[in-house]
Amino acid sequence: MRTLYPTIEPYREHRLAVDAVHTLHVEECGAVDGIPVVFLHGGPGAGVSPTHRRFFDPARYRIVLIDQRGSGRSTPFGELRDNTTAHLVADIETVREHLGIERWLVFGGSWGSTLALAYAQAHPERATGVIVRGVYLGRAEENRWFNEADGGARWIFPERWARYEAHIPEGERGELIAAYWQRLDSPDQDVAIAAAQAWLGWEDHAATLVHDVEARSHADPLATLAKARIEAHYFRHHAFLEHGQLLQGVDRIRHLPAVIVQGRYDIICPARSAWDLASAWPEAQLEMVLSGHGATEPATADALVRATDAFADRIAGPVRA
């Protein structure tokens, strides 16, 4: 099985103001004259990490990573003003223009898959291909699956669900996303942080096929609050997309080479969404792997590295021994 490429450092970092409020952190890694690829992180609100650079051969790729609005090292941290899917799509295009890149491979996982599809469909002439992992299409039923009491995830992780649900009084549990949002948006910081820790306590440790159901996060409370607020902001607005928009828009990108990598036992973004996307896009290559949601689980990392290597072979020819 393929593993991630070795750790690398950026060769250039940017602070890019995209409007009067938001300034993005952008980094470039790998080969200055390599095949351009943009990495779109999950969350929403998670930010990029050094691991994200390692899905691409640094000798062949010019790797661009963007902290989305309110995320990671972009500022203001946790900001929700002018923070929608349309804004993020426009930001990706602003980054491309700023870096002087004509076209690039679009790569995203989890929420990043949503954004990758939305961007490629808005700007198909700027994409050379699409690689997505852990597919999330922004549909209400996907949000309900993982975050509401009538969803299915609670049947898989009952121990964690009990803690997530217990944070909300019984009378408000019919709409948990809305109930959590009320607390995440509270002017009382203690109330908001407690809700954020319960929200991400449910999500963060459900990402891998094998995990400790009792594990708890020790992340910085304010960072936890920022991520939870951005997630709930997007979920309560159904990712600022029309229902089925990303499936209906496949015709705009079906000419592009595409790989869909999906963990068979992904509980956060279940396999149905990847199947629906592949059914609408039969030209894309769907690879179901024996893993959960995490991008670095062995089977998922193997499939993603094989996909990026194959794309590089297609563009520049295979590496010679």
Please state at what angle helix 221-236 crosses helix 176-184, rounded to 10 degrees. Answer: 140
Q: Which residues pair with 108 in a beta bridge?
A: 40, 132
Active-site residue, from 110, 113, 273, 291: 110
Q: Which pLDDT value is given to residue 317?
A: 67
* pLDDT tens-digit map of 180-223: 999 999 999 999 999 999 999 998 777 777 767 676 666 789 99
Q: Which residues contact 50 (CB under 8 A, 6 or more apart)?
A: 7
The residue type at 57: D
Per domain, the residue ranges of the chain are: 12-138+241-316, 141-239
**Separation CA 204–CA 117 (nearest Å):** 24
What number is the average pLDDT over the span 164-175? Answer: 96
Is 204 a residue of the active site? no
Q: Which two tokens stand for residue 78?
A: 């946790």
Phi–psi pair at 247, nearest 5 degrees: -75, -40
Query: Per residue in 49-92, pLDDT tens?
Result: 999 999 999 999 999 999 999 999 999 999 999 999 999 999 99
The rounded percent of the chain whose pLDDT value lies above 70 is 96
102-161 residue pLDDT tens: 999 999 999 999 999 999 999 999 999 999 999 999 999 999 999 999 999 999 999 999
* Active-site entry in 57, 67, 204, 266: 266
309 is catalytic: no
Among 36-50, 167-181, 212-226, the least confident range:
212-226
Return the pLDDT at 208.
78
What contacts 70, CB < 8 A, 6 or more positions away?
22, 45, 76, 77, 78, 79, 80, 83, 226, 230
Looking at domain 12-138+241-316, its CATH class is alpha beta
Q: Is 293 a catalytic residue?
A: yes
Q: Where are the beta strands (DSSP E) in 55-103?
A: 61-67
Catalytic residue (choose from 41, 273, 293, 302): 293
